[in-house]
Amino acid sequence: MANLKFTGFSAVAPVSTTLMVGVAGGVNTRFTVGDIQLSDLGGTLPLTSGGTGATTQPAILDNVTDAASQPVNDIIVADATGAIFQNPSQHPNIPTKIVTFVEWTGNTNPYFNFTNGADVTIPFDTVIQSTSTSSTQQSTSVFQVSPTETIFDVNATGIYRVSVNIHFFDLFGDIDIFCGVFAAGGGPLSQGGLIDLKDVTGNTDQNFFGSSVMTLTAGQSFDVRINFSGGSGQNPFPSNTGQLVTNLLIERLD
């Protein structure tokens, strides 16, 4: 290979048509700057130079978004400042799901007769599910105050659907049944009525379902009560026949 000598250089700003000369495999070569492709170069272009610093799609995405240093389950959204990471529960178009489901099995809080004519609190004793998809708001708290009392504390203000299923013996003789949501230690909540039946008779072992939508406020405490009145003056006793126990579902809708 002959020795090459270049003289008389002038400093210029290269453009796509700038001619370059050199040696490739022992052969004198010339090409323009515009002929150079990124694939002709080895390595990766760092982020600071407008590249990705990686060669695989997962690694490229991680580098460009810095996902590894973001909270788990966050998503990329656009706001007035550009692209940001945000928990789905904080996005205005993604509703938060807060669900609490409890049962009264009688295992922890034993079953007892409900006094005719009295508002009696249902002492739910088993939490089947209590979840929240919010990164800042907890699910509704459940407190078993005593074997005859369970209260619920609201941790997130919103519109809730409260649904109850009551299962009792001794429902005959034209007995009246009311079940609703009450402020803990106080009176019934607005829109808190769940079941209101008059002159129930027939099968002594019966199951009833009721549901209502209401606004609940963070820090608010409530319980669920049943009032059996009239009939033959009997005091109904909870039933669990058919593997169906009295239960309560609390769902935030907004």
pLDDT at 5: 63
Q: One digit per residue, pLDDT tens: the chain, 254 residues?
A: 456 666 667 778 888 888 887 777 778 888 888 888 767 776 788 888 888 888 788 888 888 888 788 777 777 888 888 888 777 766 766 666 889 999 999 999 999 999 999 999 999 999 999 988 776 778 889 999 899 999 999 998 999 999 999 999 999 999 999 999 999 999 999 899 999 999 998 888 999 999 999 999 999 999 999 999 999 999 999 999 999 999 999 999 87
Question: Residue 224 and residue 151: Cα distance in Å, rounded?
Answer: 8
Q: What is the pLDDT of residue 1?
A: 47
The residue written with tokens 């052969």 in the block is 27
This prediction has a pTM of: 0.69
Residue with the two structure tokens 């309560």: 248
Residue 27 tokens, joined: 């052969």
- Rg (the chain; Cα; Å): 35
- Best CA proximity match to 111, nearest among 249, 233, 226: 226
How far is the C-alpha of 192 from the C-alpha of 102, rounded, in Å? Answer: 18
| CATH numbers and ranges of domains, the chain | 18-62 (no CATH), 98-252 (2.60.120.40)
